Structure 1
Amino acid sequence: MEASALTLLFLDVDGTLIPFGAPRPYPVFEAPFGAPPAEAVAHPLLDRVDPALGPRLAGLGCDLVWATTWMEDANVCLSPWLGLPRLPLVDWPGEEDDGGGPAGLHWKTRPLVDWAGNRPFVWLDDEITDVDRAWTAAHHLAPALLHRVDHRHGLTDADFAAVAEWLRLRLSGAPAAP
């Protein structure tokens, strides 16, 4: 089995798929995969999500997993918008539960490392810090790429290039930069 087939890709929504905070108008997209469900049409920010991201994410060859507080709404609204199948969801213990980690550790970090088990993973989020990277390196034995996305723009070509390069290096057996 290819190494990338074993790699999980944990995907955040707000700031990662839905850009916010930039001092400019955002592009507005229409769903290209037929009529989105009523819940999706009613969501006020969904049209900021570029539907072309779905095929690009699927094309990375990873097992995609929603890592967002959207929970099932990610499957109801975003998966059809992006042309993706229903994805597994990380079940959060609660945002307030930091699990006793070091100061600055994101509340998602420990649950994602636990969810991954011994599998390599990529985590795309707009709130990742060096504290999360260091904690993951110390507590997760498999390779992991914690990639911070600029919330003002969401996923860009540069983000996809960074993930693809990390995956390529992992497949080649070369050491990948964190």
Structure 2
Amino acid sequence: MTGTGDGNGDRPLLFLDVDGPLLPFGDGPRHKPSGAALIGHLARLDPQVGLRLAALPCDLVWATTWEQEANAEIAPRLGLPPLPVVIWPEPSDDDERQDRWFGLCWKTRTLVAWAGQRPFAWIDDEITDADREWVSAHHPGPALLHHVAPARGLTDDDFAALDHWLRAP
């Protein structure tokens, strides 16, 4: 289940949720689309976000219910190449019960397994303190679970926090 992206394996992973962090739920587009106008909610995608993500010292990975559609619909609009994609397995009944009891996001276990031994950051609008505690107890390497306000999406402050963590020794 461990990912095998195009990265060198030494850099941290950055797991990307789409709805909320990259595609804010707030009103209206974040920028004026150039060329052919984007239809509906995809107009909220900001190509500058893609440039900023690509400049971070990490390997980007889609961690979204969009799955492969993120490479078809989101990546080109953000100016990103196709990225590795986390495919979500059906959770066991026991895992589902435990996740509800602990208050875990349904993605947490899969992302820890996908990361293997690699350090990772994860941006999502569903992250809670319970997820941070669980990852701390179950992942052998450094991890940053960064909650993004879904109405705003990624902000300068979010990028500063990611950049600081990714460049820390």
Q: Shorter-chain TM-score category?
A: 0.7 to 0.9
Helix, strand or coil at the partner of 1:52? helix
**Structure 1 residues 54 and 95, CA, compared in 2 at 3 Å: closer, same or farther?**
farther
Deviation, 1:128, is: 0.2
Give per-residue Cα distances to partners, 1:18-67, cap 9 Å, x unaligned. Answer: 111x4x54434426xx769xxxx55x211101111111001002100000
Are the equivalent residues in 2 in contact too, given 1:98–1:107 (CA < 8 A)?
no
Deviation, 1:152, is: 1.0
**Structure 2, gaps ≥5 residues long:** 1-7
**1:117-128 paired onto structure 2 within 5 Å:** 117-128=116-127
**1:71-82 paired onto structure 2 within 5 Å:** 71-82=67-78
**Structure 1 residues 98 and 81, CA, compared in 2 at 3 Å: closer, same or farther?**
farther
The residue aligned with 2:114 is 115
Deviation, 1:80, is: 0.6
Deviation, 1:144, is: 0.2
Deviation, 1:168, is: 2.1
Are the equivalent residues in 2 in contact too, given 1:97–1:107 (CA < 8 A)?
no
- TM-score using structure 2 length: 0.85
Question: 1:4 & 1:157 partners in 2: Cα distance?
Answer: 27
In percent, how many aligned pairs have the same letter? 56
**Structure 1, gaps ≥5 residues long:** 173-178
Question: 2:50 & 2:92 partners in 1: Cα distance?
Answer: 31
Q: Are 1:48 and 2:44 counterparts?
A: yes
The residue aligned with 1:176 is none
Q: CA RMSD in A?
A: 2.4
How many residues are paired up?
159
Deviation, 1:130, is: 0.2
Are the equivalent residues in 2 in contact too, given 1:8–1:121 (CA < 8 A)?
yes
Question: 2:57 & 2:155 partners in 1: Cα distance?
Answer: 18
- Residue identity in the other structure for 2:13: L
Q: Are 1:12 and 2:30 counterparts?
A: no
Question: 2:63 & 2:93 partners in 1: Cα distance?
Answer: 16
**Structure 1 residues 29 and 13, CA, compared in 2 at 3 Å: closer, same or farther?**
farther
